[in-house]
Structure 1
Amino acid sequence: MLYMLEHEIMCDVTFRVGESRKTIKAHKNILAGRSLIFHTMFESLLPEKEEINIPDIYVDTFNDLLRYAYIDDVQISTNNVNRMLYAADKYMLSTPKTKCCELLQSTAQSSNAVVTLSTANQFHLEDLQKESLQYIKDNTEECLLSSHAVQLNTECVQMIVTSEYLSCSETEVCKFFLKWTEAQCKLHGKEVW
């Protein structure tokens, strides 16, 4: 089946994926058999007939998703976990989502806990969010010095700074908050005073 996908043999659906709108061909029956979302796309009262645009998923992520659909193999890494979790959630694919959560679980108790907290918050993974927040509380200084900490959204920063117990001084928290504010200003094109 993977050979047929890779060589576009008897494909009957065309996707335009990512910002570049790269053409990717596949087989409706395989996708519909793996995902209720794809099934609905192809078999609803108003089925998709032309090319299907998927601008919100990166090309490599969509290819990984197809690989899973065809041969039940999914490659998850810290580099693609957020993108894959988004795609798995969008297309209701439980195995890739579970594998993403397992990888995130392994990073919740590490210096990458801020990344895990952010992802868990974004995808409403409450247990993972609690676990990573606990690690951050216990190892606050290490986590706040992480280069990823300044990329946290407002909700995650609020969770951290309003915690009753943090394992660092208020001065360290204030320093982090100033760095985070500066990064957010730059991100939103605001002048830093």
Structure 2
Amino acid sequence: MSAPNKPVDMDWQISCHDIKSRNQYLFETGEMTDCEFMVGREPKNQKLISAHKMILAMASPVFHAMFYGSLPEKSIIHVTDLDYATFHALLKYIYTDVIAIDSVDEAIELVRAAKKYMFSFVVDKCITAIQAKLTPKTVLRVYEFATLFDETQLKERSLELLRKETLKVIQDDSFKNAEIKTVMMVVQQDKLNINSELELFKAINKYVTESPELNGHQINNTGETDAEQQSVSISIRNIIRHIRFLTMSPQTFAEGPMKTKLLTKRESLAMLANIASSNTDIPMPKGFSTKKTARKIQAPVLHSPVQVESNAFLPEVLPRNPYCSNNFGPDFCYGNMHPYPYYISHRFPY
């Protein structure tokens, strides 16, 4: 509302028959504003937004204290922790009751604004929208958000999807944008839906190469003098130590991890010896995973009731179970109280 979006009608009140339409008119035109916000994280992206003190104060205790507290704001208010689009979306809700969300990122940013200005209803609606838009592409971003704002249920939903759709998550281009601590969380999971540990290793190797968070840093196994570079390398090394190299075959390891720069030559040779033989005298490199079980989530085995092909094999009389009280007929009440309904013959002892 930094500038009127449409011409001001001198008799606009006549066509607005309720408070919602009046507020919407004020929101769209910027008519009669009495406060201003300079909004944006970066100075070059900051824009001026005008609003109405009374309308904002009626909607939020934070705005009420800002304008009508003991030390009311009288000059332009600078908002440097939100972007213009997010703050504008929050004002739109205040004036019109409309919550406009088109993406997970927009919902997350709106939650930040809503928590800052104490709009719990907006927070709840945004969380619902985020859950509805949870996909392998957005799951790590949502996990980081849920962790930061202590949204336990949303965090658990994110972890469930990560474990179920692991391969899609780690192969998506969005994986490179994850925080280092989030990648650490992934490799620490005991169960992941991957076909082999090599797929996880490849994703980590690609992350090290392309992640904006690493800012071009590469792991240096010779020791670093720069504190920031050393910190990054330590984080990457800690992630690699959780890879279950012992689940790989010698050929897979030699043609994959052994050819990368993520392991030293000595570490690679020691691991290869341990992969090739469980009786080797060469110990695994210190700190690296010694787990030999795959992370692959096994599909549940469904057990079916015992069936027979012909009634000819059924005994003439089966003792009725005295504890059976169902109304499904006698065929469900005989035998040794097995949890499934079944028929038992002398040829198929249970």
Structure 2 length as normaliser, TM-score?
A: 0.51
Contact 1:77–1:103 at 8 Å: present in 2 too?
no
Moved more, 111-120 or 10-19: 111-120
Equivalent residue of 1:11, what SS? coil
The answer to whether the aligner puts 1:167 opposite 2:189 as a matched pair is: no
Q: Structure 2 vs 1, CA of residues 122 and 164 (structure 1 numbering), >3 Å: closer, same or farther?
A: same
Q: 1:148 maps to what in 2?
A: 174
Relative to total residues, which structure has the larger helix share, 1 or 2? 1
Q: 2:110 maps to what in 1?
A: 84
Q: Distance in 2 between matches of 1:47 and 1:35?
A: 15
Q: 1:127 maps to what in 2?
A: 153
Q: 2:27 maps to what in 1?
A: 5
Q: 1:38 maps to what in 2?
A: 63
Give unmatched runs, 5+ long, in structure 2: 1-22, 220-350
Moved more, 101-110 or 9-18: 101-110
Q: Distance in 1 between matches of 2:102 and 2:188?
A: 31
Q: Distance in 2 between matches of 1:189 and 1:16?
A: 30
Equivalent residue of 1:148, what SS? helix
Identity within the alignment, % = 31
Q: Distance in 1 between matches of 2:138 and 2:114?
A: 22
Q: After the TM superposition, which segments of 4 or more aligned residues of structure 1 sit over 4 Å from their partners?
A: none
Q: 1:158 maps to what in 2?
A: 184
Q: 1:73 maps to what in 2?
A: 98
Q: Distance in 1 between matches of 2:65 and 2:28?
A: 24
Instruction: Pick from 71, 77, 81 the counterpart of residue 56 of structure 1.
Output: 81
RMSD: 1.9
Q: Distance in 2 between matches of 1:154 and 1:188?
A: 8
The answer to whether the aligner puts 1:95 opposite 2:114 as a matched pair is: no
- Give the drift of 1:109: 5.5
Contact 1:32–1:42 at 8 Å: present in 2 too?
yes
| CA deviation vs aligned residue, 1:52-90 (integer Å, no higher than 9, x gap) | 001221112111111100111111121512221211121
Query: 2:78 corresponds to which letter in structure 1?
Result: N
Q: Distance in 2 between matches of 1:9 and 1:89?
A: 28
Q: Distance in 2 between matches of 1:89 and 1:12?
A: 24
Instruction: Pick from 22, 26, 32 the counterpart of residue 47 of structure 2.
Output: 22
Contact 1:5–1:11 at 8 Å: present in 2 too?
no
Contact 1:4–1:10 at 8 Å: present in 2 too?
yes
The answer to whether the aligner puts 1:182 opposite 2:204 as a matched pair is: no
| Structure showing greater Rg | 2
Q: Distance in 1 between matches of 2:174 and 2:128?
A: 20
Contact 2:137–2:174 at 8 Å: present in 1 too?
no
Q: Distance in 2 between matches of 1:84 and 1:22?
A: 18
Query: 2:204 corresponds to which letter in structure 1?
Result: F
Q: Distance in 1 between matches of 2:33 and 2:184?
A: 49
Residue correspondence of structure 1 range 99-114 to structure 2 within 5 A: 99-108=125-134, 110-114=136-140
Contact 1:115–1:149 at 8 Å: present in 2 too?
no
Equivalent residue of 1:49, what SS? coil
- Give the drift of 1:2: 1.8
| CA deviation vs aligned residue, 1:91-135 (integer Å, no higher than 9, x gap) | 111222112101111133555322322322232212111111111
Equivalent residue of 2:173, what SS? coil
Query: 1:54 corresponds to which letter in structure 2?
Result: V
Figure out how many residues of one structure are paired with residues of the other and give that number.
Answer: 192
Q: Distance in 1 between matches of 2:209 and 2:133?
A: 27
Q: Distance in 2 between matches of 1:113 and 1:43?
A: 41
Q: Which has the higher contact order (CA 8 A, sep 6+)?
A: 1
Q: Distance in 1 between matches of 2:49 and 2:165?
A: 45
- Give the drift of 1:173: 1.2
